[in-house]
Amino acid sequence: MDVSRLLLLIFVGKSASECSVPTVQHCEDYDTEFVKLLEGEGFYFKPYDHYHSKLTDKDFTWYKNNSKTDCISSNEKERIHHSGKTLFILNIRPEDSGLYTARYKSQSGKCNRYYVNLEVWKASHKADKKVFYGEIKNSDENKLVPCPDPVKDTCDDLGGNFTWSKDFIPIQDQHNDHLWVTSATIKDVGIYTCNCTWTHNHKTQYTTGSRRLDLEDRGVYHKVQILNPSNKEQLADKGVGIKLNCKVFCGTNIKHCGARWDVNEKPFTQRQGYSQSNNTVIEEPSKNIFSTATLVIEKVSAKDFQDEFQCVGIGFYSTSTVVLRLKQRESIIPLVIRGVCVMFFCVFAAVLVKYFAIDLALLFRPYLPVSSHNKDVRMYDAYVVYQTHSMDKVTEDTLCRFITETLPSVLEKKCGYRLFIHGRDDIPGEDRLELVEVRMKQSRRLMVILTPGSGSRAEITDQCPVSPQSSVIGGFDWQVGLHHALLQREMTVILIQLGDTGPQGYTHLPLGLQHLTRKSAPIRWPEGSRSAAAWNSRFWKKVRYLMPATPAKRYSQSADISEPPGV
């Protein structure tokens, strides 16, 4: 056996003996680093903790997949070998994928373990996003594409040369560890690969790392706007929980937006009974950014009413603040009492107005201008229609007394109105039909006196003050009045009921008169009442309310006999 072979056996035996060393207890494990490569590339790695330290092969042991017997050689002629802390894998293959472990043991007995996980892909997968080192997507106008750290570290340590390619097509004159894409547009979207060419043992190696560049809508920063709270005070109940919402708007399609609550100009700190949560929402499709901070107080105390709560909105370029104070809510009992009092007052006022509406109208009549009165030249305020036909002696006496005494004494003598009553105001020998037609046109109201027997023979007449012979044509008064009131709407009808109508009500009346009773209920004459004859009694107030506001003007006797002006 020659000397070279003997030395090789001794070295292999020595290496094997090193790998067979039992695992050192209480080693400190470091985080695993992940590296992605394509087949055919060269791999270079050393633990960051010992990046600048000078350690020998004796201080480190490298092995794969946690196998203590699968040691990695330190022979630089091997495709996979280590040089102290540094691991090299040349012309890497997919089967080289796996976990590589470096165990460091110092003379003092300190032990550290370092891990690197390799993913080796076939070259045909170079456009697969699984091979990429993330994605660059932001709203910046100029995009920075940094070289992935494993590629950058390899080039920096081994003095390699940087080159760049886009969609695997070389980019000329780019030899930095980063690439700037200025004024990026849609044509700049694609796969950017950082290539490092380096030399080991007089052989050229290369390592690559790719990132994908995408465009994102450009962000618009606004001055931070606090949307809530909108008031400086918020009502609260002592001993009851409450939520305070601080909602802010920062801009469109941006990443920096925040909200928080401060108490007495100091950042809120968690304390018993208080909690704060934050939530940021991107509104679609506008991309507006809203941030909300919610402060929950489980039970409001007396101190909370003295504190100042500041809603703070934090944007990229600006900050806004709104101060909120808690105000103790008033007891609901005084509000209920006030509400009941107001409601009672309104009901009482409504009842008073309804009950005294006629009194109020009569009170203010003299002070309200009535322009229509100056244009109304009719001579009579009311044309009185009644009947004495088909009624008993008592009812007929009551009607005659009302027509001849009560009605004129109140409306004419005390109120100044002018009534037309047949038998009293007609001229002997005058044509009856023409008289009724003319006097109807000269009257502003039609006053119908209803008695228990009214309408039993479909006749309404004016028999009481005149001779019985005139009863034959008594129905003509009603026909003319009904025509003026219902068809021509020239007159307003006033219905007055004398006596009780009985169970039949007004069903015995002619249809036209029934229609009027449904529109306006007749005013009942309170026979026998002490105040019935008083002009300011309730009955006469209702009658006066329906009469014209201002009595008709007085004309000479010749004007009474002749045609009315305008007729």
Position 178 scores a pLDDT of 92
Position 293 scores a pLDDT of 92
Q: Which of 7-21, 166-180, 325-339, 373-387 has the highest mean pLDDT?
A: 166-180
What would the two tokens of residue 96 be? Answer: 């080289």
Position 163 scores a pLDDT of 95
pLDDT band for 54, please (50, 70, 90 cuts).
low
List the single range of 222-236, 275-289, 472-486 with lowest mean pLDDT: 472-486
Position 52 scores a pLDDT of 53
Query: What are 198-217's pLDDT values in tens digits?
Result: 999 889 999 999 999 988 76
Position 66 scores a pLDDT of 67
CB atoms within 10 A of CB 545: 16
Where is pLDDT greater, at 488 or 82?
82
pLDDT band for 310, please (50, 70, 90 cuts).
very high
If we measure between CA atoms, which residue out of 216, 223, 198 comes closest to residue 208? Answer: 198
pLDDT mean over 21-32: 69
Average pLDDT in the chain: 80
pLDDT band for 389, please (50, 70, 90 cuts).
low
Give the chain's radius of gyration (CA, Å).
Answer: 56
Region class of 284: left (phi > 0), else alpha (psi between -120 and 50), else beta: beta
Q: Do the Cβ atoms of 35 and 116 come closer than 8 Å?
A: yes
pLDDT mean over 357-368: 77
Position 204 scores a pLDDT of 92
List the single range of 28-37, 264-273, 548-557 with lowest mean pLDDT: 548-557
Position 38 scores a pLDDT of 92
pTM: 0.41
46 pLDDT exceeds 70? yes
If we measure between CA atoms, which residue out of 85, 89, 24 comes closest to residue 56? Answer: 85
Q: Do the Cβ atoms of 186 and 206 come closer than 8 Å?
A: no
pLDDT mean over 410-434: 81
pLDDT band for 468, please (50, 70, 90 cuts).
very low
pLDDT band for 377, please (50, 70, 90 cuts).
confident
Position 268 scores a pLDDT of 76
If we measure between CA atoms, which residue out of 56, 148, 142 comes closest to residue 107? Answer: 56
Query: What are 173-203's pLDDT values in tens digits?
Result: 999 999 999 888 888 899 999 999 999 988 9
Position 566 scores a pLDDT of 39
41 pLDDT exceeds 60? yes
Query: What are 279-301's pLDDT values in tens digits?
Result: 989 888 888 899 999 999 999 99
Nearest 5°: the CA angle 33, 39, 42 is 60
The proportion of the chain whose per-residue pLDDT surpasses 90, expressed as a percent, equals 22
pLDDT mean over 454-477: 45
Q: Do the Cβ atoms of 507 and 514 come closer than 8 Å?
A: yes
241 pLDDT exceeds 60? yes
Query: What are 259-278's pLDDT values in tens digits?
Result: 999 998 888 777 788 888 99
Q: How far apart are CA 399 and CA 460, in angstroms?
A: 13
131 pLDDT exceeds 80? yes
369 pLDDT exceeds 60? yes
Position 25 scores a pLDDT of 54
What would the two tokens of residue 89 be? Answer: 């894998």
Q: Is 35 buried (19+), middle (13-18) or exposed (0-12) by CB count in 10 A?
A: buried
Position 312 scores a pLDDT of 93
9 pLDDT exceeds 70? no
Evaluated on CA atoms 433, 436, 440, 441, the torsion sign reads: positive
pLDDT mean over 408-434: 82
pLDDT band for 325, please (50, 70, 90 cuts).
very high
Q: Do the Cβ atoms of 212 and 136 come closer than 8 Å?
A: yes
The proportion of the chain whose per-residue pLDDT surpasses 70, expressed as a percent, equals 81
- Could you give the angle at which helices 432-441 and 475-482 cross, rounded to 10 degrees? 30
Query: What are 56-102's pLDDT values in tens digits?
Result: 657 788 888 766 556 888 888 899 998 878 899 999 999 999 999 88
If we measure between CA atoms, which residue out of 150, 174, 171 comes closest to residue 161? Answer: 174
Position 463 scores a pLDDT of 44
Position 491 scores a pLDDT of 79
Position 375 scores a pLDDT of 67
Query: What are 496-540's pLDDT values in tens digits?
Result: 888 887 777 777 777 777 888 888 888 888 876 666 677 788 888
Strands (E) in 65-122, as ranges, are 80-83, 86-89, 98-105, 111-121
